Structure 1
């Protein structure tokens, strides 16, 4: 994804599981669709969802609109890391080359391809220990990190950002995946401190419970949650404290 548009490939990862990646992906897709872009969402490995049941891709399409193309490469029944879930189900895992090839096919006919990972960046996808980062490297695609709002998020975000950098990958920015209605002191301070931890800007905050909104309301509001770099209108608040440079 280039600095000011909604074209290309963007990998959506997180600092952990249940962090808000799917709702963030839906918001990105909704904003891009509103801007007239064609959008595809790829989930390399869906775990913990029974055959035929709606997974993360279905949730993104429900919230962002049915015109979003959805693709899921593999589904494993137990809610575990993809490599573990595949092994226990005696099923073939998904490798980074498969992910890259699927993205390249989707990119031929879509302006924007969003790749939503499972869990955090370094969750294993196969017995060789390959990760979403390996697929991103094959694609030369930037990553958007979805992080928590509260205490502990600075460490987890910095670890994720450093893991990207040592692999030669760019952290596009950070989105807070579930911003509370009444943020505590830690959350308010983290909004200022996260860019330092990540070495990249905060590019949005998704309100807690946004995924429960009616789809039309979700689509109407999504642009207010994302920064202009991601096609929205959100802007980070002016810092209330001055940093001292040593």
Structure 2
């Protein structure tokens, strides 16, 4: 039976893809068939959506790009606005269908959300509605920077209010100048009431496979594959 995780973050450009790829490599190292999914990508570089490219490389089964990434938009703006500019509306049932196709082929599907948890997806729905539809345990990536405590706690509150399981969180140390970093991590460990599964150091040279050494997937709530 396929298992999956939904990755969200305290902001956009917070390290969700980095964490997603590390998870894929970690699960693949256990002998699992894995695939990453980026349902909505906004912001291309030279005609490529880099988050999608990285997830494709980290996956170890053959699937179509359309299955991994049903919606792709050029401007780096909120999904609902990008879709409006393209003259369309994002349909969550399309994403759900693609997810089911992936889950029929893989042991584990890692789904990366767009932006933060409550980012608008269309005129009525947000990223929370997508996570609820897929009904996956959520991994929260926290960018360790000034303001992260409130952002992380509010996001965790929204995840649980949606009726979803917060499977664990990752501290992404993306600000090398952050003061009292260790104390901030300890504060979140005390308050988030879920496992800290990874502390990613600030080092732009580290790739996803190297990040696996910081990751302990057995700490994830709902973890049952090994």
Q: Which of 138, 142, 146 matches 1:147? A: 142
Residues 144 and 14 of structure 1: is their aligned pair in 2 closer, same or farther, counting only changes over 3 Å? Answer: same
TM value normalised by structure 1 = 0.79
Q: Is 1:105 aligned with 2:94?
A: no
Distance 1:198 1:95, change over 3 A: farther
Structure 2 residue corresponding to 1:206, chosen from 192, 200, 204: 200
* Contact 1:161 1:198 (C-alpha < 8 Å) held by counterparts: yes
Q: Deviations over 1:81-107 (max 9, x none)?
A: 1001110222x2323322222211111
Map of 1:77-92 to 2, 5 A cutoff? Answer: 77-90=74-87, 92=88
**Partner deviation per Cα, 1:19-62 (whole Å, 9 max, x = no partner):** 10111111001111111111111111111116842431202334
* Unaligned stretches of 5+ residues in structure 1: 2-6, 232-246
Q: Aligned-pair distance for 1:186?
A: 2.6
Q: How many residues are paired up? A: 217
Q: What does residue range 192-203 of structure 1 map to in structure 2 within 5 Å?
A: 192-203=186-197
Q: Given that residues 36 and 111 in structure 2 are in contact (C-alpha distance below 8 angstroms), is that contact kept between their aligned partners in structure 1?
A: yes
Structure 2 unaligned spans of 5+: 221-226
TM-score by length of 2: 0.86
Q: Contact (CA 8 Å) 2:41, 2:49: kept in 1 or not?
A: no
Equivalence for 2:216 = 227
Q: Relative to 1, partners in 2 of residues 1:207 and 1:33: Cα closer, same or farther, differing over 3 Å?
A: same
1:159 and 2:154 aligned? yes
Aligned with 1:119: secondary structure?
A: strand
Contact kept, 8 Å, 1:47 with 1:85, in 2: the verdict is yes
Q: Could you tell me how far 1:65 is from its partner in structure 2?
A: 5.9
